[in-house]
Amino acid sequence: MKKYCFGIDVGGTTVKCGLFDVKGEVLDKWEIHTRTENNGINILPDVADTIAAKILEKKLDREEIAGVGIGVPGPVDEEGNVMVAVNLHWGYLQLTEEMEKMTGLPVRAGNDANVAALGEMWKGGGAGYHNVVMVTLGTGVGGGIIVNGKIVTGSHGAGGEIGHIHVEDSMEESCNCGNKGCLEQFVSATGIVRLANKMLDESDAPSVLRNGPVSAKTVFDAVKEKDGLAAEIAEQFGKYLGTALAVIAGVVDPEVFVIGGGVSKAGQVVIDYIRKYYREYAFSGCKDTAFALAELGNDAGIYGAARLVLD
Amino acid sequence: MKKYCFGIDVGGTTVKCGLFDVKGEVLDKWEIHTRTENNGINILPDVADTIAAKILEKKLDREEIAGVGIGVPGPVDEEGNVMVAVNLHWGYLQLTEEMEKMTGLPVRAGNDANVAALGEMWKGGGAGYHNVVMVTLGTGVGGGIIVNGKIVTGSHGAGGEIGHIHVEDSMEESCNCGNKGCLEQFVSATGIVRLANKMLDESDAPSVLRNGPVSAKTVFDAVKEKDGLAAEIAEQFGKYLGTALAVIAGVVDPEVFVIGGGVSKAGQVVIDYIRKYYREYAFSGCKDTAFALAELGNDAGIYGAARLVLD
């Protein structure tokens, strides 16, 4: 009878770690430093060590541990091999196989954005649903697609790469991915600043946004204060993202869209602008699909990673 | 030991029927008339009767029959309930349950476009793959998404409704679905005629297309004859569809796109125009995704339906 599982979220600076019971209650939560030097050769041994230490500390019976789930910042295939993880200085790595050897426990691995989506489905904004699309609006735009409770990994590990779907032909600046006109260039925190600066340049309208540095937060704060120009920026943001989510609904038709990341901290107003355009462009059967804010914040990754080993 | 299965494709005019062995060899193929009068109340009994007759005719042992798969023109949920099927004059119907009672055999049901995609994955243009996106370019645009060998049905039965993803803000004419600017309005056989007539009106360039009624076939025939205006129409077609498939790749990242329907009869030239724009807009990891022409034609539905009962 399995009672426990570990959820590990490997980031470029810290590795977040969680010990969970199999119902999804977090029993302990801690972090270790991510040692990226020497091509990140120490990262997996460090994770194995901290797990071994926790097993000792908590006097866990290994027979009662379902396994270790790991999310990493890069594409991961169905067999748990990492293609590349730039921020960890990793190239190709048989992650699942190596971690199983080091820990002596069953291991499952996934891309961090996908794993976060699974976490939100399990215990966050998507709880109670099994078909979820999560969008993380941070410095970039991450995504995760869950169909019937399982991550859609994709045949090149690019399932849920919705930050890089093409939304604008007229964009001349290149995205980090090399293409032009990606969703991320308009609706990430950085993208919202780009939209805002362009609109502030092109308009003479007064706005509180002219008083200081612009960020996604100042834009949505100004929207809440009924600033006209800020509202126009939010409309553009909502049009790009709402239309993109309507397209996604025509592909996988989820039960719920979960909106997370720093931009989502502005709250319901973000969903209101997205949903306005979503409803305009979504296929008739999907217009009433639910929207929810993410609830787990930076812990979504450890929840989702733990969930990986419980299938 | 199961040896046989039936695949049934219910259309508005005829019901296509197939008897298969479990390896996917078709043993017999026939059609019956679709009796849509009286809200289509006779359709299922007629299907049950023709199956019973075939079992007698072929002296099949019922113990050796894996079951009956059925594709229908309308949304079907995970439990095999039809929401509505306008062309059959059906409202809500517990299709799987009713057919199991009538036939005494296990029954699985799916949307016809999704089921056709499964058929092409099994024995057609997508054979050997398990992650397939199929696009059927006919009077409308149908789609089917297969992830890890299973149809993505969607939570409102709208999985794979890619004919109705939004691709053009400037479209003023409404699509049959009620929205404006759907993919179907530009890349279906009807959509290609629309693109062609618009371009013929707006240009004075000579073209063989000015000599008679325009169809998707005459456009691609003219492209093969190096007609300049026809090539421009094909570029527009390729841009709309290639960009849309690039977006879909950023959602489910398939191994192959299978292109079917009447328009695909023009052959490789259709794929060439689609892939040109697909490669421009797809996420870096997905630019080399395979493209194939559908191979099963009107039989894709019976193959896919038969495949439904073999999982």
**B246 in contact with chain A, both atoms CB, cutoff 8 A:** yes
Query: Shortest Cα distance from A78 to chain B (angstroms)?
Result: 10
Closest CA to B230 of B260, B271, B273: B273
Out of A244, A251, A289, the one facing B145 most closely (by C-beta) is A251
pLDDT tier at A311 (50, 70, 90 boundaries)?
Answer: confident
Angle, nearest 10°, between helix axes A268-281 and A228-252? 60
Say if A4-121+299-308 and A128-294 have the same CATH topology.
yes
User: What number is the average pLDDT over the span A80-88?
Assistant: 90
pLDDT tier at A10 (50, 70, 90 boundaries)?
Answer: very high
Residue of B nearest to A174 (CA): B281
**B81 in contact with chain A, both atoms CB, cutoff 8 A:** no
CATH class of B128-295: alpha beta
The residue of A253, A258, A279 whose CB has the most chain B CBs within 10 angstroms, and thus the best one to mutate to test that interface, is A253
pLDDT tier at A1 (50, 70, 90 boundaries)?
Answer: confident
**A117 in contact with chain B, both atoms CB, cutoff 8 A:** no
- List CB contacts (< 8 A) between A156 and chain B: 253, 285-286, 289
User: In this structure, what is the dihedral angle of CA atoms B107, B113, B114, B119, given to the nearest 10 degrees?
Assistant: 80
pLDDT given for residue B86 in this prediction: 86
pLDDT tier at A107 (50, 70, 90 boundaries)?
Answer: very high
Q: What ipTM goes with this model?
A: 0.93
**A126 in contact with chain B, both atoms CB, cutoff 8 A:** no
Query: Shortest Cα distance from A24 to chain B (angstroms)?
Result: 25
Residue-wise pLDDT for A253-295, tens only, equals 999 999 999 999 999 999 999 999 999 999 988 999 999 999 9
C-alpha span between B233 and B221 (Å, rounded): 12
Closest CA to A49 of A35, A63, A64, A66: A35
Query: Shortest Cα distance from B213 to chain A (angstroms)?
Result: 32
- List CB contacts (< 8 A) between A246 and chain B: 165-166
Out of B246, B252, B281, the one facing A251 most closely (by C-beta) is B252
In chain A, residues 157-196 whose CB comes closer than 8 Å to chain B: 157-162, 164-166, 177-179, 181
Look up residue B141 and give its amino acid.
V
pLDDT given for residue A275 in this prediction: 98
- List CB contacts (< 8 A) between B146 and chain A: none
Sorted by where each begins, the domain ranges of chain A are 4-121+299-308, 128-294
Cβ-Cβ contacts under 8 Å between A and B: the total is 135
Residues composing chain B: 311
Residue B169: count of CB within 10 angstroms of its CB: 10
- List CB contacts (< 8 A) between A250 and chain B: 158, 160-162, 164-165
Out of A158, A179, A255, the one facing B155 most closely (by C-beta) is A255
pLDDT given for residue A212 in this prediction: 87
Tens digit of pLDDT per residue, chain B (311 long)?
Answer: 899 999 999 999 999 999 999 999 999 999 999 999 999 999 999 999 999 999 999 999 999 999 999 999 988 988 999 988 888 999 999 999 999 999 999 999 999 999 999 999 999 999 999 999 999 999 899 999 999 999 999 999 899 999 999 999 999 999 988 999 999 999 999 999 999 999 999 999 999 999 989 999 999 999 999 999 999 999 999 999 999 999 999 999 999 999 999 999 999 999 999 999 999 999 988 999 999 999 999 999 999 999 999 97
C-alpha span between B133 and B116 (Å, rounded): 11
pLDDT exceeds 90 at position A176: no
Residue of B nearest to A242 (CA): B166
Residue of B nearest to A277 (CA): B166
**A290 in contact with chain B, both atoms CB, cutoff 8 A:** no
**B252 in contact with chain A, both atoms CB, cutoff 8 A:** yes
Query: Shortest Cα distance from A169 to chain B (angstroms)?
Result: 10
Eight-state DSSP code of residue A87: G
pLDDT exceeds 90 at position A23: yes
Q: Does domain A128-294 have CATH number 3.50.50.60?
A: no
Closest CA to B310 of B15, B61, B108, B153: B108
Closest CA to A10 of A95, A112, A92: A112
Angle, nearest 10°, between helix axes A189-202 and A216-224? 60
Query: Shortest Cα distance from B251 to chain A (angstroms)?
Result: 5
% pLDDT > 70, chain A: 100
The answer to whether the CB atoms of A289 and B156 lie below 8 A apart is yes
pLDDT exceeds 90 at position A86: no
CATH class of B4-121+299-308: alpha beta
C-alpha span between B268 and B255 (Å, rounded): 18
Residue of A nearest to B181 (CA): A281
